[in-house]
Chains A and B, each alone.
Chain A
């Protein structure tokens, strides 16, 4: 009975071990031949300009995050749109509630000045 559990431990250890091995192999076996070209950041083929570690304004972060959050919430609109007729009025009410919450958060972000580029 108990021997039944042994494979589980083996799987656990194997998964962790394999992951470690892959990492180690990458470090050990990977040919290391760094050249100036290779060390350049990859920018889709076009030559990079400017310093590599340029500081970007923190405002990009805030805007990007706000975008991602509101963007991801749109995920929930798709199933509703696909089943719009079958869900009927109740679905509409629920979606309205959902969007109301989103709107309130948007208003909050707006009033708090998170959307203003220059403050």
Chain B
């Protein structure tokens, strides 16, 4: 254990140190209504960008083989670094949005930013974890922060309700996951994923305990990625939370959950028994993916609130990603690449969508439902533009990031052949429903007039939000027009994992 070893943990340490520093800055900041507040959002963004920069530096240096005392708990490979960047990036978008939103809606309280940073830290621990212990620590560190963030608007019953439901169900699911981990430990004598994997492969593990442990583990993780039927907390928590937090949940939290699912399945359960297409987890995931895509899209189509629609749309997108998971055993690295690219593309697209929703509202006139969007496109076309781009990307329209993401996921399924093709067909058809409800946003913005007596949403003015929108729009287009480099990176990362 040397100081040089610590370099491998630099992104994580950066987040913790930054979070603690911001806590102190906030604690010692002058109080009172007219006090000069520190720009905590800027500071937080700097910390996140620095953490992402450290990950990039580690990637460039090629030093991805950490010492054993680290790698037996936290991965230092390229997949880990890839997720570091995606999670830090997604969080940075959410923080920029919060910087504008909290000020506009007069709820700027300092604890927001440390909470976000610690949650992001938890997300990265989760994404990197190679041991059930770190899975649980990361999961809870992330979740506890997010529960508090959902409850952030203290005066709102909806906020409290969303947090309560999220907390109750999240704790329940975490307990299930933990029980699964304990049973796997009992079956194999190991808590580290590699050890579990080796034991399962060698056939020494107790099959019954292994299967039941795996099942409970999968239920816990399926809950976190909001796969149907474990999704019901999602729309309520997403709607209850303030919009920047919703954005954070839909990008960073979801990415981390998928990251750990990926690692658990690839490292610990890729043996022929549990990964057999007919009886193992791929069958379970096929059912989950099909249900998730259909239910997510159908439910999104009938929403009246845009925020809730986006919540269901995030469920539908989870379904698309799960399609790639089913192809994991047969397609290996190209399936992993598809997942990585999808998560990156989804992060920027969703940041754009939620950012636009935030930009459209101002204090007392927040835009939540479709009706609130009526006519905004004609009153203020510039504000509507990023929203359209976000919707197109979520819809999977070329040449946006979302198109290629969807394309790779479904083509992995087609390449896997057999019953997977039907899953791809189902995904493609259900995504047509997506065209309907995403376009409704555009229809309302340009083709409807506000009803009589309705409060009219007025766009806010915020440099933070504009920066977040410009950056995410850039990446949506960049990844759509020239996804080559991003795919190369994802492939580079995927190669080491499989």
Q: Number of B interface residues, CB 8 Å?
A: 14
A5 and B24 contact, CB distance less than 8 A:
no
Q: How far is the CA of A87 from the CA of B410 in the complex (A)?
A: 52
Measured CB to CB, the nearest residue on chain B to A11 is B212
| A108: contacting residue among B23, B207, B208, B211, CB under 8 A | B23
B114 nearest in chain A by CB position: A108
Q: Contacts A4-B207, A90-B1, A111-B28; is A105 near B212 (CB within 8 Å)?
A: no
Contact partners of B208 in chain A: CB under 8 A: 4-5, 7-8
Q: Is B168 an interface residue (CB 8 A)?
A: no
Q: Are B211 and A105 in touch, CB under 8 angstroms? A: no
Residues A104 and B23 in contact, CB atoms below 8 Å apart: yes
Q: Is the CB of A101 within 8 A of B20?
A: yes
Q: Is the CB of B27 within 8 A of A108?
A: yes
Tell whether, in the assembled complex, residue A108 and residue B24 are in contact, meaning their CB atoms are under 8 Å apart.
yes
Q: Does B34 belong to the interface (CB within 8 Å)?
A: no
If A4-B208, A7-B208 touch, does A104 touch B20 (CB 8 Å cutoff)?
Answer: yes
Whether, in the assembled complex, A112 has its beta carbon less than 8 Å from a beta carbon of chain B, the answer is yes
- Chain A: interface residue count, which band? 10 to 19
| Closest Cβ neighbor of A6 among chain B residues | B208
B20/A5 in contact, CB under 8 A: no
Q: How far is the CA of A2 from the CA of B283 in the complex (A)?
A: 14
A67 to B208, CA, bound (A): 42
Bound-complex Cα distance A5 to B24 (A):
54
Q: Quick check: B24 and A12 within 8 Å, CB to CB?
A: no
A5 to B209, CA, bound (A): 10
> Hey, what's the 0/1 contact readout for B194-230 against A, CB within 8 Å counting as 1?
0000000000000110011001000000000000000
CB of B79 to closest CB in A, whole Å: 27
Chain B residues with Cβ under 8 A from A4's Cβ? 207-208
Q: Is A105 in contact with B23, judged by CB distance below 8 angstroms? A: yes
Q: Does A107 contact B (CB under 8 A)?
A: yes
Separation in Å of the A105 CB from the closest CB of chain B?
7
Q: How far is the CA of A5 from the CA of B207 in the complex (A)?
A: 9
User: Which of A12, A104, A111, A112 meets B212, CB within 8 Å?
Assistant: A12
Does B279 sit at the interface, judged by CB under 8 A? Answer: yes
Nearest-Cβ distance from residue A115 to partner chain B, whole angstroms? 12
A112 to B23, CA, bound (A): 10
Q: Mark A31-74, 1 if CB is under 8 A from B, else 0.
A: 00000000000000000000000000000000000000000000
Whether B27 pairs with A111 at a CB distance below 8 angstroms is yes
Which residue from A2, A7, A12, A112 sits with its C-beta under 8 Å from B279? A2
Which chain B residues border A11 with CB–CB below 8 Å?
212
B212, A8: Cβ atoms closer than 8 Å: yes
Considering the complex, give the chain B residue whose CB is closest to the CB of A2.
Answer: B279
Contacts of B27 in A (CB 8 A): 107-108, 111-112
A12, closest chain B residue (CB): B212
Contact with A along B392-426 (1 / 0, CB 8 A): 00000000000000000000000000000000000
- Least Cβ distance of A6 to chain B in Å? 10
Q: Which residue among B1, B23, B26, B211 has the maximum number of chain A CB atoms within 10 Å of its CB?
A: B23
Min Cβ gap A36→B in Å is 35
CB distance from A5 to the nearest CB of B (A): 6
List A1-31 residues whose CB lies under 8 Å from chain B: 1-2, 4-5, 7-8, 11-12
For B207, the closest partner residue in chain A by CB is A4
A106 → B minimal CB distance (Å): 11
What 0/1 pattern do residues 278 to 294 of B give for CB contact below 8 A with A?
A: 01000000000000000
Across-interface contacts of A12 in B (CB, < 8 A): 212
- A12 to B176, alpha carbons, bound, how many Å? 12
Rounded to whole angstroms, the CA-CA distance of A90 and B23 in the bound complex is 27
Residues on the B chain within 8 Å of A8, using CB: 208, 211-212, 215
Q: Given A2-B279, A4-B207, A90-B1 in contact, is the A107-B24 Cβ separation under 8 Å?
A: yes
Measured in the bound complex, the distance between the Cα atoms of B207 and A4 in whole Å is: 8
Assess the A5–B1 pair: CB atoms within 8 A.
no
Other A-B pairs beyond A7-B208, A8-B211, A108-B27, 9, CB < 8 Å: A1-B279, A5-B211, A8-B212, A12-B212, A101-B20, A104-B24, A105-B23, A111-B28, A112-B27
Q: List 19 A-B contacts (CB under 8 A).
A: A1-B279, A2-B279, A4-B207, A4-B208, A5-B208, A5-B211, A7-B208, A8-B208, A8-B212, A8-B215, A11-B212, A12-B212, A101-B20, A104-B23, A104-B24, A105-B23, A108-B24, A108-B26, A108-B27
Give B residues with C-beta under 8 Å from A: 1, 16, 20, 23-24, 26-28, 207-208, 211-212, 215, 279
Residues of A in contact with B (beta carbons under 8 Å apart): 1-2, 4-5, 7-8, 11-12, 90, 101, 104-105, 107-108, 111-112
